[in-house]
Amino acid sequence: KVVANYAVGYNNIDVDAASERGVLVTNTPGVLTETTADLTWALLMSIARRIVEGDSFMRAGKYVGWAPMLLLGSDVYGKTLGIVGIGQIGQAVARRAMGFDMKILYCDMFALPPVAERLLNAEKVELDELLERSDYVSLHVPLMDETHHLIGKRELELIGSDGYLINASRGPVIDEVALVEALRDGVIKGAALDVFEDEPEMKPGLADLENVVLLPHLGSASIETRTGMAELAVGNILNFFKGEAPLSPVNPDVLKG
């Protein structure tokens, strides 16, 4: 009758097969936008300023005093942030970047309204140009055939040895084997990941690298947001069985039948 996904992404559901059988699919968009943007920003700051490395350094008792070259990171303020996918979450990330006086480049099928571009200090460019010009590249695209391995060996080379890659979208958007090689060989400076290609597994060698921050899919993991997601998922189910319009249908056409 109905599949209520407790997430905004629904690549874990065969929607075509559900539609063929008249099964409604719903998801939880909107309620996790700001929380996921917060997490994206935490990833960016953590890899830029080597926060996780510094924490491990302290816990291991290695700190013996201030030193001018100790754990040097990269500035964030005034740099260029490339956002791949300027949907709700991408725009929320861009709003946070305003406080850091960052230049925003974005790549998307659709352009923002001119007024939004001015407010966000944003410029629409093609993917290759975004990768080449950005100091930080943040991924916010859904997982589709077109975005599977969107970032591979070639794209990582375009980001370059001074660039960082952040992913809080879906793991298979990145070719994780190519990413391990790029991080190991200094092709890019660092990466921060909340999602992985074969969750919960990671590709061999990724966990051994110090220039990557790794999180267990925490994008929406706040008490307030997970509660809101649960309420929306339950609301979709209740509305369906009451014969009322679901709050966030993925395949609403099945209701016409």
Q: Which of 129, 212, 145 is nearest to 176 (CA)?
A: 212
What token pair was written down for 75? 């500035």
Alpha-carbon 103 to chain mean position: 19
* Cβ partners under 8 Å of residue 22, min gap 6: 254, 257
Residue 245 DSSP one-character state: P
Determine which one of 155, 170, 176, 197 is catalytic.
170
Q: Give catalytic status of residue 154 as yes or no.
A: no
Annotated catalytic residue within 95, 96, 149, 217 = 217
- What is the rounded CA–CA span in Å between residue 237 and residue 212? 39
**How far is 87 from 111, CA to CA, in rounded Å?**
10
Interacting residues of 20 by C-beta distance below 8 A, sequence separation 6+: none
Check if 217 is active-site.
yes
- 81 dihedral zone (left: phi>0; alpha: psi -120 to 50; beta): beta
Residue 170 annotated in active site: yes
List 255's β-bridge partners, or say none. Answer: none
Please identify which of the residues 199, 224, 231, 244 carries the catalytic annotation.
199
Catalytic residues: 170, 199, 217
